[in-house]
Chains A and B, each alone.
Chain A
Amino acid sequence: MSSSDPTAATVRSPRRALGWGFFLSELGVLFRRRRTQAMLGALAAVPILIAVAIRVTGGDGRGPAFLDRISQNGLFVGMTALVVSIPLFLPLTVGVVAGDSVAGEASTGTLRYLLVSPVGRIRLLVVKFASAVVFCLAATLTVSLAGILAGAVLFPIGPVTLLSGNTVDVGEALLRALLISVYVALGLVGLAAIGLFISTLTDAPVGAMAATVVVAILSQVLGQLSQTELLHPFLPSYHWLDFADLLRQPIDWSSFAGNAWLQLAYVAIFGTLSYARFATKDVLS
């Protein structure tokens, strides 16, 4: 029991921090968590399983895009794995992280302590969303990197022939793989914003996670139906598989830009909704 506490004026920071420290702490909590590590591990397992399966069977038969190229060039493992993960695995993990963002804090009772610490409500939303975006990138990079490593171990690595017919060396091919990872991550950002909004609606994280994943699946189902063709360009999953343009020489950026604008629109809409919902919400959890 010390009675020699310095006065508040002497220990408070002279200025309020911008929130980088809180952002870093948020990332620390997110990535130190077993659940996050398990999800990234499961994502890394996808390309490894694909690579092993093809190595064992010889890679004949039908399968997702790029599958037939793997046995000639291991660099295609990562791309194949991304194609396989885009419909379910990636949205699932993003749904878990984004759906948990606010509702998870509410259910552990930490939300009220964060808010009185105090972290402003807008700041909290921004930090939660930013860390979900970091997770999107971490998820797609995990798939890509695990794929490239598995491919390098099990298959020959060499110059890559692009869809436009040009051939690029391994270094350039790795850059393209990185670019594709960023593209796929970008495509998930809108879903992360939707998940953040759903997360502000409830104190039950599992419900928010499930609802976010349902949105991702619904979007893809609608994208398959010709009856909903008018809607297609507005679905968050519309550009998910359009990264082939990044495998041309020169790169065709139109789908990248289209993806970016679409996701930005989702972030703007659901960011605003999250703010509207959360800024004045009674936190009773």
Chain B
Amino acid sequence: MTAAPAAIQTSGLTKRFGRQTVVDGVDLDVPAGAVFGFLGPNGSGKTTTIRMLLGLANATAGEITVLGERMPGTLGTVLPDVGALIEGPGFYPFLSGAANLARLDAADGWAPRATRRTRVAEALDRVGLTQAGGKKVRAYSLGMKQRLGIANALLMPRQLIVLDEPTNGLDPQGTREVRGLIRSLASTGTTVFVSSHLLAEIEQMCTHIGVMRGGRLVAQGTIDELRAAGQATLHLTVAAPDARLAVRTLAPLGIVVTTAAAPEAQAAEVAPEAAGDTALAAPFPDGLPPEHVVAALVGAGVRVRGVAVDRPSLEDSFVALTGEGFDVVQ
């Protein structure tokens, strides 16, 4: 099989509303077959980006390619292969769940009418709404509407499924089911583009991640690349009198003790007989086996009482990239 074109590619994608730049020069690259987690806090431009990908909004600048076709010129032929849940479900409250799906399916000129009933039933079954399919959507809970929205994306076999905050309003059980559904879609080769403001919800199922902040794509890559990107830290606990010796021993290895523990090391030198432990911390260079460090310390006569090398969790990297707190970045 020849290399499939990227499922989604954008270059310099920009959207301005008046003077406000909502999406700013985004270069997305979503490989075919990936489960791409599109992360970012509220107001970071995720949904606007998705709207541009699907031809709902016009890009102010930049180019979009979806499934190898330039958008928005080829919307009519590309969109039948794309299933989407965009900014929450949207349904006619006065129609039943099944009637709503049939209605949206009728709007798709490529969806054969003969199989509509079967496909609607299958889609409802996949999201666990078979029992509620005949009920009016007015009577649905938020979680049920969300499931119906996902069912709509599954009405036809798709090459690409775009899910904007799919776990919104779902209980933990529903969230697990959505994850399972996404995995099963991915296992059939469907590219899944899933946005979320919660890393934890999608971390486990994504192969790729893109992080938005203030309209910019601040990081993008495979999940392992992003995980490795963070700086590891060496935490060392030594007998207090040996602290200075430890600092000196570590220096040739390229480990510079920079933490607040360092002044204590100076103090320890003044009072060599002081009892207790001293904690040291230092950025830990990549590629250096921790056991070498321990061997060097022990060889130099440092009484090592504890050692650990911490890699930041993806969560920490995510927070570092997107900024902490509730402030919406403008």
A-side interface residues toward B, CB under 8 Å?
Answer: 1-3, 5-8, 11-13, 16-19, 21-22, 24-25, 28-29, 32-34, 108-120, 280, 282-284
**Is B57 within 8 A of A6, CB to CB?**
no
The A interface, classified by DSSP as helix, strand, loop or mixed, is loop
1/0 per residue, CB under 8 A from A, across B206-220: the answer is 000000000000000
Chain B neighbourhood of A32, CB < 8 A: 94-95
For A7, the closest partner residue in chain B by CB is: B157
Could you count the A-B residue pairs with CB atoms below 8 Å apart for me: how many are there? 124
> Across the interface, which residues of A come within 8 angstroms of B55, CB to CB?
115-116, 118
Most interface-central of A22, A28, A117, A120 (chain B CB within 10 A): A117
Residues of B near A21 (CB, < 8 A) are 106, 113
Inter-subunit contact A8/B91 (CB<8 Å): no
A8 to B158, CA, bound (A): 7
How far is the CB of A135 from the nearest CB of chain B, in Å?
17
Q: Is the CB of A109 within 8 A of B90?
A: yes
- Cβ-neighbour of A109 out of B57, B88, B126 (below 8 A): B88
Give Cα A225 to B282, complex, Å.
88
A-B contact pairs, 30 of them (CB 8 A): A1-B181, A8-B158, A11-B112, A11-B156, A12-B111, A12-B156, A16-B76, A17-B109, A18-B109, A22-B106, A108-B91, A108-B92, A108-B93, A109-B89, A109-B91, A110-B91, A110-B104, A112-B54, A114-B104, A115-B55, A117-B79, A118-B76, A118-B109, A119-B107, A120-B75, A282-B51, A282-B56, A282-B58, A283-B57, A284-B56
Residue of A nearest to B181 (CB): A1
Complex CA gap A103/B75 in Å reads: 22
Q: How far is the CA of A250 from the CA of B220 in the complex (A)?
A: 78
Query: Shortest Cβ distance from B67 into chain A, in angstroms?
Result: 11
In the bound complex, do residue B92 and residue A29 qualify as a contact, i.e. CB atoms below 8 Å apart? yes
| A12 in contact with B184 (CB, 8 Å) | no
Closest-by-CB residue of B relative to A21 is: B106
A283 vs B94: C-alpha distance when bound (angstroms):
23
Q: How far is the CA of A111 from the CA of B57 in the complex (A)?
A: 13
CB within 8 Å of A: which B45-94 residues? 51, 54-58, 75-76, 79-82, 84, 86-94
Would A8 and B89 be within 8 Å (CB), given that A116-B82, A118-B79 are in contact?
Answer: no
Q: Which residues of A contact B113 (CB under 8 A)?
A: 17, 21
Q: Which residues of B contact A22 (CB under 8 A)?
A: 106-107, 109
Measured between C-beta atoms, what is the minimum distance from B148 to chain A in Å?
11
Q: How far is the CB of A270 from chain B (nearest CB, A)?
A: 23
Is B102 on the interface with A (CB-CB < 8 A)? yes
Within B192-211, the residues touching A (CB, 8 Å) are: none
Q: Which residues of A contact B105 (CB under 8 A)?
A: 117
Q: Is the CB of A25 within 8 A of B106?
A: yes
Report chain B residues within 8 Å CB of A108. 90-93
Task: Supply 5 further A-B pairs (C-beta < 8 A) apart from A2-B126, A25-B107, A282-B57.
Answer: A11-B115, A34-B94, A112-B54, A116-B54, A116-B84
Known A112-B90, A113-B90: A11·B79 in contact at CB below 8 Å: no
Flag B157-190 by CB within 8 Å of A: 1 or 0 each: 1110000000000000000000011001001100
Q: What is the total number of residues of chain B having a CB less than 8 Å from a CB of chain A?
A: 48
CA distance A8 to B110 in the complex (A): 10
A115-B84 Cα distance, complex, nearest whole Å: 11
B102:A25 contact, CB within 8 angstroms: yes
Q: Which residues of A contact B91 (CB under 8 A)?
A: 108-110
Complex: how many Å from CA A64 to CA B89? Answer: 50
The docked-state distance in angstroms from the alpha carbon of A21 to that of B102 is: 11
- The answer to the question of B103 belonging to the interface, with a C-beta cut-off of 8 Å to chain A, is yes
Contact partner, A1, options B88, B112, B158, B184, Cβ 8 Å? B184
Complex formed: what's the CA distance from A114 to B109 in Å? 11
- Chain A residues with CB under 8 Å of B249's CB are none
Give the shortest distance, in Å, between A23 (CB) and chain B (any CB).
9
CB-based contact A1/B180 at 8 Å: yes
* CB-CB nearest 8 A-B residue pairs: A109-B90, A118-B79, A25-B106, A16-B109, A282-B57, A117-B107, A119-B107, A17-B109
- B152 part of interface (Cβ distance < 8 Å): yes
A2 to B187 CA separation, bound complex (whole angstroms): 11
Of the residues A8, A25, A110, A283, contact of B157 by C-beta under 8 Å: A8
* B113 and chain A: residue at smallest CB distance: A21
In the bound complex, do residue B110 and residue A113 qualify as a contact, i.e. CB atoms below 8 Å apart?
no
Residues of A within 8 A of B81 (CB): 8
Q: Are B157 and A117 in contact (CB under 8 A)?
A: no
> In the bound complex, what is the Cα–Cα distance between A18 and B110 (angstroms)?
10
Q: How far is the CA of A114 from the CA of B79 in the complex (A)?
A: 11
Known pairs A8-B158, A12-B156, A16-B110; A118 contacts B88 (CB<8 A): no
Query: Do A116 and B95 have beta carbons less than 8 Å apart?
Result: no
**Nearest Cβ distance between residue A282 and chain B, in whole angstroms?**
4
Q: Report yes or no: A5 in contact with B188, Cβ–Cβ below 8 A.
A: yes
- CB-CB nearest in chain A for B15: A282
Q: Which of B54, B103, B109, B187 contacts A19 (CB 8 A)?
A: B109
Complex-state Cα separation, A19 to B188, whole angstroms? 31
Residues of chain B with a CB closer than 8 A to A114's CB:
104, 107
Contact of B108 among A24, A34, A109, A118 (CB under 8 A): A118
With A and B bound together, what is the CA distance between A3 and B115 in angstroms? 18
- B107 and A8 within 8 A (CB): no
Provide the bound-state CA to CA distance between A231 and B45, in Å. Answer: 49
A5–B157 touching, CB < 8 Å: yes
Chain A residues contacting B180 (CB-CB under 8 Å) are: 1
Cα A284 to Cα B188 in complex, Å, equals 32
Q: State whether the Cβ of B269 lies closer than 8 Å to any Cβ in chain A.
A: no
